[in-house]
A and B are shown apart, each in its own frame.
Chain A
Amino acid sequence: MLDYAWLVLAFPAAGALLNTFLGGSLGRRAVGWLASGAVALAFLASLGLFAQLMGLPGHERSVTVHLWDWIRVGTFQVPAALLVDPLSVTMALVVTGVGTLIHVYSVGYMAEEPRYQRYFVYLNFFVLAMLVLVLSDNFLGMYVGWEGVGLASYLLIGFWFDRRDASYGYYADAGKKAFLVNRVGDFGMALAIMILWTGLGSVTFLEVFAGVEKLAAGTLTLASLLLLLAATGKSAQIPLYVWLPDAMAGPTPVSALIHAATMVTAGIYMIARTYPLWEAAPAASAVAAWVGGLTALLAATMALVQVDLKKILAYSTISQLGYMMLGVGVGAYAFAIFHLITHAFFKALLFLAAGNVMHGLHGELDIRRMGNLRARMPQTARLFTVGALALAGFPLTSGFFSKDSILFAAFERSPALYGLGLFTALLTAFYSFRAVFLAFWGRERDPDLFARAHESPAIMRGPLWILAGLALAGGGLNLPRVLPLLEHWLEPAVGALEIHAGLGLEMTLMAVGGLVALAGIYLAHARYVQEAAWAQGLAQGLAPLRPLLERGWYVEDLYRAAVVEPLWALARFSAQVVDRGIIDGTVNLVGQLHLLASDGLRRLQNGLIPTYALSLFVGVVVAVLYFVFG
């Protein structure tokens, strides 16, 4: 069966190709179901791989499936090969599993969309690229998927390439921004691969890992930091997170699948995949941990003041990815993957529920115009609330367990990072329930909008109930100490975390985490439902911070002023002044001088008669031909 691992890739590839060439004659529904079926088959194939691995003893659960020799230039040899191991299969299951649900949802969500066929081709292509990313057995193959998902993301963010609105500007520009910011990250990955190859003569994961100790510490740290740069692009961390909020211009199922559940987790996956490098480069790991912790906090503060429902979720995604980055940074790879999985469940759920809100409100996303929507779309309200509970880390939901695992691991390494994460958890619970209360509770703020609001069709609720179930119960994947299934399963691929702290400490931290989540929810309730005087006063007190948060700490302004505008100015200056003015001006001047000075030059170059004879001959031929035909 493992020899057939390529089937996982073949299904979405076939789906994309079939819909490209035959989609036009298939009919709208058929296109959507074909695409969904392709991903569902890929999910089944991934389950097959999972079952195969389960049948092997733990230390043998790492199988390389060679497809063909891809690039060979002397000692630079890169196979096209798949690495089937617990980590890659887990990722494949998440991608195809959540992917299937979102494809099915899309059949309903995009039912009225004229470019239906193109949408599903892109979506299948995305799944293909994502599977290449997670299944490749070497850095360069991963890079293929890495940029492939970037292309899919670019195309889907700018799917409505002719639209613009106040919140996103031209959607096409949002797509371009995503691609370019990610290219800055890709620069890091390309260089890291070059460094590793130059040092070790291989780009295959297992060979690189086997040779890690041969690399100088500085080289290894540099390579790891460059990989981290790549991860901050794809996984929207400081300093490259700025593309993700704009990416919400894409269709909402795309936000759910690509910009929440799967693609943006690629950076986390990449670090977990390459963990032997990070174990050997503790300085780079520490940077990753701090990048994650700070991103989690920064993004959470920005989420506090967003009024666009999808943007709240976008900043929340950045923040949650920050937790995962913090997790890999402190060496808790399995916990980071755990949070990656639960986040895929509850954030996909939240986005799809937001899609239902948008659908039911005819495109409206401003939570200030919503209110009391649970009266008009009760199921969506319940579904969104389940997602928000998991996001807030409400006790016993999936997010509670996975986030607490990371915080626990952080506590062991650095209490400061733990504090950062805990405070972020408070903000998280607050902003998620701010959205819940403002959108679904209270009074209707826009009666017209409220009157026209409606619940979504069954096809747009069914997949959400599955996700809701997973968001609630997903913690069962890895109950700490009691039943750490995921940790054991992933151990051959990402190693085991050594935990020194006792059970008592762990239980205490868990209780603290739960209380913080409850506190955040209570705060939001006091502020937005009870409208308690003290909560209003607190909000008043913090009001001066609001403009700072609304401008996103002026990060975008800084980038624009310090990077984008200067480069544009340099481009214009190079084109107009340097190229046409100085360089070409000099050329033309030389041409004129030459005519003036030709007498003197001729004497100097007298020895080079053949040159002259030939120029003369060619010149005559040219002149004659020109007069004849010109």
Chain B
Amino acid sequence: MSYLLSTIVFLPLVGAVLVLGVPGDRARKGVALGTTVLTFLVSLLLLVNWQDTPEMQFVERIAWLPDLGVDYYLGVDGISLWLVLLTTFLMPIAVGYSVLYVRENVGIYMALMLLMQTAITGVFLALDLVLFYVFWEFSLIPMYFLIGKWGSERRVYAALKFFLFTLAGSALMLVAILVLYFQAGTTDILALAERGLPNPVAQLAFVAFALGFAVKVPLFPLHTWLPDAHVQAPTAGSIILAGVLLKMGTYGFVRIALPLFPEAARGYAALISILALMGILYGALVALAQEDFKALVAYSSIAHLGFVMLGIFALTEQGIGGAVLQMVNHGLSTGALFLLVGLLYERRHTRQLRAFGGLWKSVPLYCFFLLVVAMSSVGLPGLNGFVGEFTILLGTYARWPLFAFLGTAGIILAAWYLLTAFRKVAQGPLTDPRNAAGVLPDLRRSEVALLVPLVVMFFLIGLFPNLFLDRITPSVAALQARWDDVQTVSVLQVER
């Protein structure tokens, strides 16, 4: 048994302790950045040693609470692989941004970032519900402090709202875990999936888990904590919040809600898909009306995660496969958008769109990156977002053609709000002297270095998505086999 997964999970924890131990902000920043980079490099070993199988790999299992039958149980498959790598990839970027711009309480800040990384990767790798739950709850605390301490004006309100919302969701989840434990006598996720559960329990447990996950995603109408949290959070917090923390919710659906309760999932699929569609259309419209750039990006997240949810609950191979890829795409694109909003905020200390205009003239490099990132988010074919979005919609069409129609309408709105933002920031005349060339500095090399890896990934996923999909789909196919009637239906339609 290798300890690769534990290393990936706990290396940041070690880094957090080190950060608090070393003297001086420079050293603390160095240790934090070094830890995240090292963790990323270590996590690449997953790819190097990857086996083509739908099964769990790199499994670690140690008895943890033997009296209760609860194990410390980690494993990775095609569904969690890219989410782990997304986390280890985004973390050096978020920490790198913080190295440039965080000045207060650097040690604690960095330690919290690293703790959060441990919690998040733990969630993605845990194969025991209790362990999953512990990591899940644990991820709350660092984010709560990051928002509450390093956030903007209304940070305390936003932090508390974030905390209470998620706590309410996870309380339900805890109940469900206990019920499962008493019913089935185990908290082993894979075993529970294999065993299946009697119906009334499965229905209730599904609802409890779904609510807990839906808050995190967030699914309409449970989303209102998100704009507050994002607008108030420090930039690196937003990158991680949007980039990976929200994926804990969508991942929860794929890892737990679907395989443990396939019948219930199918029963609720239509309802959840409708809410996902609401998120796509409503989130996009609300984004359009935002005057704060960061709020706009936050609402765009709701719309994008609506696509992910739509794909998951299409319960087809394309839907779920596209959704898993789209989780990664959203992490990259929205992470990059928050990064760019943050860079602008550091320069002008405002996020109001009307404070800008004509920036393409004064900061062309910045605007170039803004354009590329916006296009990735819009789902321009050739870049990453398109592959996920299209595959999701294709998978949705097979089950619910009407939903695919409505979801596809969402891609029009996505272009509308993002091009409107780009129009307000980069285009038009340059009127405010504070935005003038020479006054407003363009991107520094260190900032470009944070953006380039993201842009490279846009193109890599956009042009060669099979590098990613080929590792995702075997696991998704195994999962989807539970609802494989859909393919039969479409074949019948052809014969007719």
CA of A198 to CA of B405, assembled, Å: 14
Q: Least Cβ distance of B269 to chain A in Å?
A: 18
The residue that A74 contacts in the complex, of B144, B321, B415, with Cβ under 8 A, is B321
Alpha-carbon distance A70/B391, docked complex (angstroms): 12
Given contacts A158-B427, A191-B405, A191-B408, contact A574 B285 (CB under 8 A): yes
A199 part of interface (Cβ distance < 8 Å): yes
The reply on B397 being an interface residue by CB < 8 A is yes
User: What residue in chain B is nearest A162 (Cβ atoms)?
Assistant: B429
Specify the main secondary structure of chain B where it touches its partner: helix
Q: How far is the CA of A481 from the CA of B305 in the complex (A)?
A: 59
Given contacts A73-B391, A191-B408, contact A584 B427 (CB under 8 A): no
A146 to B465, alpha carbons, bound, how many Å?
19
Query: Which B residue's beta carbon lies closest to that of A621?
Result: B141
Which residue of chain A is the closest to B112 with respect to CB atoms?
A629
Quick one: given A76-B318, A172-B428, A579-B224, are A184 and B412 in contact (CB under 8 Å)?
Answer: yes
B163 within 8 A of A: yes
The listed residue (A147, A161, A572, A626) touching B380 by CB distance below 8 A is: A147
- Asked if residues A151 and B469 are in contact (CB atoms below 8 Å), the reply is no
A111 surroundings in chain B (CB, below 8 A): none
Evaluate whether A629 and B145 lie within 8 angstroms (CB atoms) in the complex, with A162-B428, A571-B289, A618-B167 already known: yes
A625's partner among B141, B164, B171, B466 (CB-CB below 8 A) is: B141
Q: Which of B285, B395, B428 touches A161 (beta carbons < 8 Å)?
A: B428
Q: In the assembly, what is the distance between CA of A151 and CA of B223, in Å?
A: 32
Min C-beta distance of B192 to chain A, whole Å: 19
Q: Does A216 touch B at the CB level, under 8 Å?
A: yes
Assess whether B469 is in contact with A73, with CB atoms less than 8 Å apart: yes
Residues of A within 8 A of B490 (CB): 198-199
Which chain A residues lie closer than 8 Å to B286 at the CB level? Answer: 571, 574-575, 578-579
> Taking CB as reference atom, which chain B residue is nearest A145?
B381
Given known A-B contacts A180-B412, A214-B494, A583-B224, A574 and B289 have beta carbons under 8 A apart? yes
**Does any Cβ of A come within 8 Å of B175's Cβ?**
yes
Chain B residues, CB < 8 A from A193: 394
A567 part of interface (Cβ distance < 8 Å): yes
Option from A158, A186, A621, A622 in Cβ contact (under 8 Å) with B411: A186
Q: Decide if B175 touches A172 in the complex (CB within 8 Å).
A: no
Binary CB contact string for chain B from 395 to 421 against chain A (1 if under 8 A, 0 otherwise): 101100100110011011001100110
Please state if A629 and B105 are interface contacts (CB–CB under 8 Å): yes
Q: Check: B387 CB closer than 8 A to any chain A CB.
A: yes
Q: Is the CB of B390 within 8 A of A187?
A: no
Q: How far is the CA of A186 from the CA of B427 in the complex (A)?
A: 24
Given A144-B381, A199-B494, the answer on whether A161 and B360 have CB atoms closer than 8 Å is yes
Instruction: Find out whether the CB atom of B318 lies under 8 angstroms from the CB atom of A143.
Output: no
Chain B residues 432 to 474 lying within 8 A of chain A, measured CB to CB, are 463-466, 469-470, 473
A173 in contact (CB, < 8 A): yes
Interchain CB contact under 8 A, A610 and B174: yes
In the complex, are the beta carbons of B108 and A629 less than 8 A apart? yes
Q: Is B124 positioned at the interface, with any CB of A under 8 Å from its CB?
A: no
- Asked whether B358 is an interface residue with its Cβ less than 8 Å from the other chain, the reply is yes
Contact A173 B423 (CB under 8 A): yes
The answer to whether B493 and A148 touch across the interface, beta carbons within 8 angstroms, is no
Q: Is A615 on the interface with B (CB-CB < 8 A)?
A: yes
Is B201 part of the contact surface with A, judged by Cβ < 8 Å?
no
For B429, the chain A residues whose CB sits under 8 A away are 162, 164
A74 to B141 CA separation, bound complex (whole angstroms): 40
Give the residues in chain B near A587, CB-CB below 8 Å. 161, 165, 224-225
Instruction: Determine whether the beta carbon of B174 is less than 8 Å from that of A614.
Output: yes
The residue from B148, B178, B225, B394 contacting A76, defined by CB atoms under 8 A apart = B394
Cα A571 to Cα B380 in complex, Å, equals 23
CA distance A172 to B175 in the complex (A): 54
Q: Is the CB of A71 within 8 A of B465?
A: yes
Question: Does B73 lie at the interface of the complex (its beta carbon under 8 Å from any beta carbon of A)?
Answer: no
Residues of A within 8 A of B463 (CB): 70, 80
- The interface of chain B, by Cβ under 8 A from chain A, is 105, 108, 137, 140-141, 144-145, 148-149, 161, 163-165, 167, 171, 174-175, 178, 221, 223-225, 227, 282, 285-286, 288-290, 317-318, 321-322, 358, 360-361, 375, 380-382, 387, 390-391, 393-395, 397-398, 401, 404-405, 408-409, 411-412, 415-416, 419-420, 423, 426-430, 463-466, 469-470, 473, 476-477, 487, 490, 493-494, 496
List the 7 shortest-distance A-B pairs measured between CB atoms, nearest first: A172-B427, A575-B289, A161-B427, A74-B317, A144-B381, A571-B289, A584-B224
Other A-B pairs beyond A74-B321, A618-B141, 7, CB < 8 Å:
A75-B487, A76-B391, A195-B401, A587-B165, A587-B225, A625-B141, A626-B145
